[in-house]
Structure 1
Amino acid sequence: MSQDARTVTVKLLDKEYTISCPDGAEAELLASADYLDAKMREIKTSGKIVGLERIAVMAALNMSHELIKNREQSRQSVEMQLRRLGHKIDQSLERADQPENPPENLS
């Protein structure tokens, strides 16, 4: 372990694990462990899955699914915003191309 790493003890389903993490990232690791512990407890409470390893795998799969879903929603949101901006730019360019005072009809 390098000198800029720390060890942090986290608790998942009442079992302690000592994890190495970069110095300064302890709070993020603890928050991640708390989130994982909560997800694992939800699965354990459902009673459908038994065994620490199976519960951990199921929690990891559920969290991965959430992450992928959130990424897709973020991507779609960015695409929508870009389309709106593109539309506004097109409208502005169209207005800029039109003369402010059209010539009068001389007939």
Structure 2
Amino acid sequence: MSDQTPVHVNILDKDYQIACPPSERDALHRAAEELDERMRTVRSSGNVIGLERVAVMTALNLCYELQQAITVPTSNEDETTLERMAAKLSKALGD
């Protein structure tokens, strides 16, 4: 027996039913709200017409943001801060 239950979300005034474990229900609702907001922003730009195109442009924007978050190089200042923190941790753990 599956522990997934149907969850209803509304995106761009359309209802969707999605199977989801009860423990992830709140996260799914937050994700649906974020997606709805982003799709409304893309649609309101006036440059993209049609639900499918709005969805594709939103997905591309999300993927781009995810890639940027994953591949952002650290600055020298960040590295220095991390090195200082590592040294303090080593000292604290060594005592």
CA distance in 1, matches of 2:82, 2:58: 37
CA distance in 1, matches of 2:21, 2:27: 10
TM-score, length-scaled by structure 1 = 0.68
Alignment partner of 1:81 is 2:79: yes
Percent of residue pairs bearing the same amino acid type:
37
- The 5 A counterparts of 1:26-37 are 26-37=25-36
In structure 1, the residue matched to 2:16 is 17
* Structure label with greater radius of gyration: 1
Gaps of 5+ in 1: 90-107
Q: Check 1:24–1:48 CA distance in 2 against 1; reply closer, same or farther (3 A cut).
A: same
In structure 2, the residue matched to 1:63 is 62
Give the Å deviation of 1:23: 2.3
Counterpart of 2:28, as a letter, is L
Give the Å deviation of 1:81: 3.2
Q: Which structure 1 residue ranges, 4+ long, deviate > 4 Å from structure 2? A: none
The secondary structure found in structure 2 opposite 1:76 is coil
In structure 2, the residue matched to 1:43 is 42
Q: Check 1:21–1:82 CA distance in 2 against 1; reply closer, same or farther (3 A cut).
A: farther
Q: Check 1:84–1:8 CA distance in 2 against 1; reply closer, same or farther (3 A cut).
A: closer
Give the Å deviation of 1:84: 4.9
Q: Check 1:3–1:49 CA distance in 2 against 1; reply closer, same or farther (3 A cut).
A: same
1:10-61 Cα distance to aligned partner (Å, 9 max, x none)? 1110000001112210000000000000000001101111111110111011
TM-score, length-scaled by structure 2 = 0.76
